[in-house]
Amino acid sequence: MTVSAVIGAFLLSLCRSARTHFAPSLCIWRVLTVLCRIALAGGLPWRDSPGQVQIMKFRSVIVSAATLLLGTMAAALALGGPARPKPMQSISDPFRNVDFSGVPRPSHYSARDGTSLAYRHYMPAEGKPRRGTVVLVHGSSSSSRDMHPLAQSFAQAGFAVDALDVRGHGQSGPRGDIAYLGQLDDDMEDFVRAVQPAGPKTLVGFSSGGGFAIRIAGGTRQALFDNYLFMAPYTHRRAPNYRPNAGGWVSVGVPRIVALTLLNRVGIRVFNHLAVVNFAVADAPPDELTASYSYALANNFQPDDDYKHDIREIHQPAAVLVGSRDEVFIADKFAQVFADAGRPDIPITQVPDTGHISLSLSAAARAAAVAAVERLERPRTP
């Protein structure tokens, strides 16, 4: 195969990847695929006369396809970012009635790169039997502060609680970005080693934090925790429980994501700091909300792309909690998500008359979360 044919095959593989994983309806990828197929036909050269190979046409097609692809990717990187969605009141309004006066001051631990990352520690209530430690992971755009009501409920039930500011949020590093894919996984391991929370340890993740908890629970670091509770977890954009644009909570820059994914496939990661997701947040003080995510953070703060594999590989006790009126995800489809992944044994509990944010705020939902962790901590019968 000639060098030009190799280039054509490479471009064809990139186009197939873009069409398969992101935007099969985008005509540009279909056009590029056709051009690359024509280019690959260079293995059968055109001839004007015996012994004379005419390759100018072939080279022209290759150059045109490459130029079109590179130009499209450059435009996608520069102009294909996310729009600014209209603020979603069902996400922001429930926090107006929350009393944050008792929020603990942040503590810190050092990650392996030397960055000081924040978390808030809650002591178990006096007079309660000591149970173990609950580590809380907040949702997208959020921080440990918003986990305060849930943390209080666990503390009052006798648990020690550590609510994390995930890197890229709150007081943990630059807002909205991380250095590399997988850094959040490293940070979780560094937290457990540095803080050494008392066992049994339960990781409780909410929304995107629940998706990240699935990533940990199904990955090589799953033994960091004894139990897992996924509260309205994000699973995947193609999962049956996903509402388009998360019910209006996110705006995704699909062209930019496509371009960055293609670049990452060939080892180019210099643009991973570019924003690919904007959240429907109202105006807020800068220490409360993160308005957008970079490509690196968005792809790390969720399950792996093969989310079914993550779910299938969960070996620690786990459970799912979701509000019956969740407006971001489809509550009735969570059972299908886990069954399709081969784990119908992971229990799915719906909290009646509960929306997405109220799953972490309402008294009934918080009581259900505490009860779920208590069940997970019970000894398993052989």
Q: What is the pLDDT of residues 266-276, one digit of tens each?
A: 999 999 999 99
**Structure-token pair, residue 99:** 């009393």
Q: What is the pLDDT of residues 246-305, one digit of tens each?
A: 999 999 999 999 999 999 999 999 999 999 999 999 765 556 799 999 999 999 999 999
Kindly report the average pLDDT of the chain as a whole number.
87
Phi then psi for residue 252, to 5 deg, are: -110, 130
pLDDT at position 381? 54
Say if residue 179's pLDDT is above 60. yes
Tell how far CA 347 is from the center of its chain: 22
CB 199 within 8 A of CB 133: yes
CA distance 174 to 315: 34
pLDDT at position 282? 78
Mean pLDDT value of segment 300-327:
98
CA distance 368 to 179: 36
pLDDT at position 130? 81
Q: pLDDT higher for 33 or 85? A: 85
Mean pLDDT value of segment 132-161:
97
**Structure-token pair, residue 325:** 């009126």
Mean pLDDT value of segment 151-163:
97
Phi then psi for residue 72, to 5 deg, are: -65, -40
Conformational region of residue 348, where left means phi above 0, alpha means psi within -120 to 50, and beta covers everything else: beta
Q: What share of the chain is helix, strand, coil (3-state, %, to 5)?
A: 45, 15, 40
* 36: amino acid identity, one letter: C
Contacting residues for 358 by C-beta, under 8 A, at least 6 apart: 94, 323, 365
pLDDT at position 31? 47
Mean pLDDT value of segment 346-351:
98
Q: pLDDT higher for 59 or 80? A: 80
CB 369 within 8 A of CB 229: yes
Say if residue 363's pLDDT is above 50. yes
Q: What is the pLDDT of residues 40-79, one digit of tens each?
A: 454 444 444 554 555 566 567 667 777 777 788 888 898 8
Q: What is the pLDDT of residues 5-39, one digit of tens each?
A: 544 555 555 555 555 544 444 444 454 555 455 54
pLDDT at position 37? 54
pLDDT at position 288? 78
Nearest to 307 by CA among 345, 337, 348, 350: 337
Q: What angle do CA 357, 95, 166 make, to 5 degrees?
A: 70
Pairing of strands 201-206, 227-231: parallel
pLDDT at position 9? 52
Strand partners, 162: 121, 135
CA distance 358 to 188: 26
Say if residue 4's pLDDT is above 60. no
Pairing of strands 348-351, 318-323: parallel
Name the least confident of 31-45, 115-129, 160-174, 311-325: 31-45
CA distance 291 to 139: 13
Pairing of strands 227-231, 160-164: unpaired
pLDDT at position 15? 55
pLDDT at position 347? 98
pLDDT at position 73? 81
CB 203 within 8 A of CB 217: yes
CA distance 228 to 214: 8
Proportion of the chain above pLDDT 70, given as a percent:
82
Nearest to 89 by CA among 249, 210, 276, 203: 249
* 351: amino acid identity, one letter: V
pLDDT at position 79? 86
| C-alpha dihedral, 277 to 178 to 109 to 211, nearest 10° | 40
pLDDT at position 25? 40
Mean pLDDT value of segment 318-339:
98
Distance from first CA to last CA of the chain, Å, rounded? 60
pLDDT at position 47? 47
**Structure-token pair, residue 188:** 């979780």
Mean pLDDT value of segment 355-373:
98
Contacting residues for 319 by C-beta, under 8 A, at least 6 apart: 228, 229, 230, 346, 347, 348, 349, 372, 375, 376
pTM of the entire structure? 0.85
Q: pLDDT higher for 29 or 80? A: 80
**Structure-token pair, residue 42:** 């260079």
Phi then psi for residue 290, to 5 deg, are: -110, 120
CB 11 within 8 A of CB 32: yes
Q: pLDDT higher for 310 or 379? A: 310
Distances (CA, A) of 270 to 33, 144, 263: 26, 30, 9
Going along the chain from its start, the domains and CATH numbers come out as: 3-79 (no CATH), 89-377 (3.40.50.1820)
Tokens 């309004």: give the residue: 93
Proportion of the chain above pLDDT 90, given as a percent:
72
Contacting residues for 3 by C-beta, under 8 A, at least 6 apart: none
